[in-house]
Amino acid sequence: MKIALVQINPVIGDFAKNCAKILQWAGKAEARGCSLVVFPELVVTGYPPQDLLERPSFLAAHDAAVARLLPQLPAGIDVMFGCLERRDGEHGKPLYNCLAVAREGKIVYRARKQLLPSYDVFDETRYFEPGSTADMYEVGGLSFGITVCEDMWSEEVKLYEVDPVADLFHQARTRGVIVSGIINISASPFQRDKEKIRKGIFSRICGNYKVPFLYCNQVGGQDSLLFDGRSMVMDGAGAVVAQARGFGEDMIVVDTDTWKGDLNEEVEVAEQAAVYRGLVMGVTDYVQKCGFSSVVLGLSGGIDSALTAAIAARALGPENVLGVALPSPYSSPDSLEDARQLAANLGCRFEVIPIAELFDTFRRNLAGLFAGRGEDLTEQNLQARIRGNLLMALSNKFGHLLLTTGNKSEMAVGYCTLYGDMSGGLAVISDVPKQLVYELAAYVNREREIIPARTISKAPTAELKPDQRDQDDLPPYEVLDRILELHLEQGQGIEEIVAQGFAEPMVRDILRRIRVNEYKRKQAPMGLKVTTKAFGYGRRYPNVQNFQG
């Protein structure tokens, strides 16, 4: 028997488009002789629908879409897909996160997600009631245990008292059923090293229970979340025998007689390549799903804006990227030259708008009020805000989405200007630490020089005052990034970080900056998540607090 795993890129709430894709790919799977085609978690709605699930009209539209879909599905193949299921009862949540199987126009099988994550970016207990162990799903003489996304993660996450996989095998033994394999449908977001963790979990399950494992994951960008797809099949020994590509729609087919299948991409992908492809996909989907077709961004001649421009040009085509240099009195000729060269290398349009006259106008108009006070950070921020206004004007006039170019290291410590370089509609690299920025720049230049060599080699600087360097105010980025990782991603406090050899005054200063700039990050544009803990709706810290541990 042949089974197809199909990863599609849904649009949340676009039921017609999502169902059309299910129909299209189900037809392709049938044409390849498959008896079963599997689609990801909540593929009908798109994931995560968030508070749309609280709107009766959304639920009614979902139910109507499924009712229209069922009679149109090919009759000669089972279609497994993620959808909503209404729940009866006066108490508890009104919905299940459901896996359904359609056969000859009818739902013949359901399984309900048991483990509902409510950490980081997940909030499923807000909407769903947990399910219980489902019966085996039988097709072509085989019996499959069925799980939905988080149901596989009980050993890794360690927040649950229930182990759905163990319960599934216990039930099978009790009933005298031989489990032929496990199928898992997911909407599992990408982050650095996530696939290594997934494969570790899946291979342990295969090793423990000696059965194949079939994993079908959503693909595409949804707000800040990046879904990488990378659907796969492992045999009973935990070896990958079928592999879908990452960050794009795809279908793989596996033959259960041999447990061999399509290998559409390398089984192992380098981290830099995965992060870069994820960011490209995230820009493409956010821009296009929001109804834009082009972007504008400031090009400073620095590495952050250069990397952002390279990602945008790859995502949208260079003809849809406008790069703008906005030199101030403190900008070096080298920076302007590097920005111009970058645009030429990318093939995107490039414009120059000097801001010296506007800066002088602001200073003259404020001179009376500022009398007796020397220039300080205020004047630096004025330059950033002038640039932000000019870029927003271009965005408004021409319908471009404005991309911001700040990295995670800067965002963490507030080394950015509210209503200045933070102005925009999407923060492309706001979850990319500075050291990873350099690694991605090297990846962009792996075949030819796109980002100018001088942009990569020169010392980072905001160029908002004479002879300014980032390291005048910040520790070296290799030190800063490690402290940020320990604190933001691993949750360590001052004592734990200092115990690893970092100077206590420096650690205290960095953590203070993180704390006092929370308000600033709350007003930043949405960013694309690539680490285990990004700034955004997965981070829930109060603006007003004074815990200094």
Is the distance from CB of 218 to CB of 43 less than 8 angstroms?
yes
Q: Which two tokens stand for residue 535?
A: 């700034």
The reply to whether 113 belongs to the active site is yes
Count of residues in the chain:
549
Q: How far apart are CA 459 and CA 477, in angstroms?
A: 11
The reply to whether 447 belongs to the active site is no
Supply the DSSP symbol for 234.
E
Is the distance from CB of 99 to CB of 185 less than 8 angstroms?
yes
Q: Which one of the listed residues 113, 199, 434, 533 is annotated catalytic?
A: 113
Alpha-carbon separation of residue 361 from 77, 418, 465 (angstroms): 70, 21, 17
Question: Which one-letter amino acid corresponds to residue 402?
Answer: L
Q: How far apart are CA 337 and CA 332, in angstroms?
A: 9
Is the distance from CB of 162 to CB of 501 less than 8 angstroms?
no
Q: Which one of the listed residues 34, 83, 98, 149 is annotated catalytic?
A: 149
Provide the β-strand partners of residue 55: none
Nearest one of 476, 487, 436 to 193, comparing CA atoms: 436
Is the distance from CB of 224 to CB of 289 less than 8 angstroms?
no
Provide the β-strand partners of residue 252: 5
Q: How far apart are CA 487 and CA 481, in angstroms?
A: 10
Q: Which one of the listed residues 41, 85, 129, 150 is annotated catalytic?
A: 41
Provide the β-strand partners of residue 146: 183
Provide the β-strand partners of residue 103: 106
Q: How far apart are CA 39 and CA 386, in angstroms?
A: 48
Q: How far apart are CA 63 and CA 448, in angstroms?
A: 51
Positions marked catalytic: 41, 113, 149
